[in-house]
A and B are shown apart, each in its own frame.
Chain A
């Protein structure tokens, strides 16, 4: 890890030493960009680096399934894919676990990975080039965190005996209930986090609009107010009015957003908490009180909510797809600025500033195109996911009905 930490510096020094001296004026700047390139390469390496954790006796599928079950009992969020697991270990960190069958043994590998919030924390500083080292520091931390998790948490769970295939019906059913509740909790928790993230994204938009409103009002008021208003100078009055208007706009918009979003966030949180409680109860082999739903009923209820959770997860765009949204943000802000500057100069009689309007229009069109493409892609993804899920749900209902009739 120490080698990786100094890799960008090594790339920087090599680039500086081997750069031709005839471009001396640009030498330092080019070397700096080599440093940034080194940072990006090092960040990629931290996530591509796959280290061997251990080799255990037994079939790889069984090893992975036992590990999943043990992690879920311990309360970790685990998502499964063929031959691999992704374990969420904190709000920004995840660990990817992969297995490979080598003759009689299963070799277990680990890789650093990030949650959607973690990816945002890495990608956003990378886009603002001068704070790119922050992204590298975060990715190094994630690698350290993944290594520590692998040795402290995964290794002890891999050295335990294989869970015997359970022939006793009730115990086998309990293990399945734990799996189902854990997966339901993961989906609901991810939807809850996505809804919260979307809420915070909207707050950021409101704040940005508030900041844009302020200079508009100040400039407009400075133009149309007399020299002195209520005993105040024109500039002070304009600034005060601008602040008041921006504050009113931000607080009203924030309140409307809160009243529209809070019920959904509360509902998702309640689902997450209920599933978490049921999971804790099931892992402790406890029963719910009479007035509460059983784990089975809770799972059947949760199944109806799954498409909604999937939609919410997909819709929470912005910082989950920061590249698209940064483009929209910059195109939008420069379009507004170009139009504003054009209006101000035209008003002062500098007519050639008319060229600012087509530039503003072009930037607006670009922002709309990027937004439309993002929206279309997201919508298509949602339709595909929900369509597949509905097919599975219909099959489940048909099978259940057929089974009940056949009993």
Chain B
């Protein structure tokens, strides 16, 4: 996904977005790619996908009236 597009979608200012992106990249949750067209793109790493899945699963458990499973 285009970095600028993700920043618009996340509705935070560019500095804050950069801080979050760098925090996530440091922990291996996302990967930043410089593309040939000059744009920077962001993708989820397998670890990031796993983290996202875990968060969705917890929320899902709570909505269904069950305690989140660790």
Q: How far is the CA of A152 from the CA of B5 in the complex (A)?
A: 45
- Among the listed A176, A177, A303, which residue makes an inter-chain contact with B62, where contact means beta carbons less than 8 Å apart? A303
Q: What chain A residues lie within 8 Å of B9 (beta carbons)?
A: 290, 294
A180 touches B49 (CB 8 A): no
- Residues of chain A lying within 8 A (CB to CB) of residue B58: 396, 399-400
> Is A93 engaged at the interface, CB distance under 8 Å to the other chain?
no
What residues on A are CB-neighbors of B51 within 8 Å? 403, 407
A245–chain B nearest beta-carbon distance, Å: 49
Contacting residues of chain B (47-70) with chain A, CB-CB under 8 angstroms = 47, 49-68, 70
A172 in contact (CB, < 8 A): yes
For the complex, give the distance between the alpha carbons of A389 and B61 in Å.
11
* B11 shortest CB reach to chain A, Å: 9
Q: Are A300 and B59 interface neighbours, CB within 8 A?
A: yes
A contact residues around B63 at 8 Å (CB): 180, 183-184, 187, 299, 302-303, 306
Q: CA A337 – CA B5 in complex, angstroms?
A: 70
Report whether A303 and B59 are in contact in the complex, using a CB–CB cutoff of 8 Å. yes
Residue of chain B at shortest CB distance from A306: B63
- Find chain B residues with CB under 8 A from A173 CB: 49, 52-53, 56
Alpha-carbon distance between A306 and B60 when the two chains are bound, in angstroms: 13
Return the contact of B49 from the options A80, A170, A389, A391 (Cβ within 8 A): A170
Residues in B whose Cβ lies below 8 Å from that of A177: 56, 60
Interface size on A, residues (CB 8 A): 30
Q: Quick one: given A290-B8, A395-B67, are A169 and B62 in contact (CB under 8 Å)?
A: no
Supposing A180-B56, A303-B59, A407-B51 touch, asked if A169 and B64 sit within 8 A by C-beta, the answer is no
Residue in B50, B55, B68 whose beta carbon sits within 8 Å of that of A169 in the complex: B50
Main secondary structure of the interface of B (DSSP, over half): helix
Does A179 lie at the interface of the complex (its beta carbon under 8 Å from any beta carbon of B)?
A: yes
Contacting residues, chain B, for A183 (C-beta < 8 A): 60, 63-64
Residues of A contacting B66 with CB < 8 Å? 392
Rounded to whole Å, the gap between the CB of A342 and the closest CB of chain B is: 52
User: A80-B64, A306-B63 given as contacts; is B8 within 8 A of A407 (CB)?
Assistant: no
Contact with B along A390-402 (1 / 0, CB 8 A): 0111011001100
Chain A residues positioned under 8 Å from B59 (CB to CB): 180, 296, 299-300, 303, 396
CB-nearest residue of chain B to A402 = B70
Scan B1-44; emit 1 where CB is below 8 A from any A CB, else 0: 00001001100000000000000000101000000000000000
With A169-B50, A170-B49, A407-B51 as contacts: A392 and B56 at CB distance below 8 Å: no
Interface string of A111-123 (1 = CB under 8 A from B): 0000000000000
How many whole Å from B13's CB to the nearest CB in chain A? 16
Please give, as numbers and ranges, the residues of chain A lying within 8 Å of B5 by CB-CB distance: 290
The answer for the CA separation of A179 and B62 in the assembled complex, in Å, is 12
Does B56 contact A169, Cβ atoms closer than 8 Å?
A: no
Min distance, Cβ A119 to any Cβ of chain B, angstroms = 22
Chain B residues closer than 8 Å to A294, beta-carbon distance: 9
B60–A179 touching, CB < 8 Å: yes
| Contact residues in A for B65 (Cβ distance below 8 Å) | 389, 392
Q: A182 — nearest CB in chain B belongs to which residue?
A: B63
Which of chain A's residues 280-309 have a Cβ closer than 8 Å to chain B? 290, 294, 296, 299-300, 302-303, 306
Interchain Cβ contacts under 8 Å between A and B, 15 examples? A80-B64, A169-B49, A169-B53, A177-B60, A179-B64, A183-B63, A296-B52, A296-B55, A302-B63, A303-B59, A392-B67, A396-B59, A396-B62, A407-B27, A407-B47
**Which positions in A face B, CB cutoff 8 Å?**
80, 169-170, 172-173, 176-177, 179-180, 183-184, 187, 290, 294, 296, 299-300, 302-303, 306, 389, 391-393, 395-396, 399-400, 403, 407
Q: Which 7 A-B pairs have the closest CB atoms?
A: A169-B49, A180-B60, A173-B53, A290-B9, A407-B27, A183-B63, A176-B60
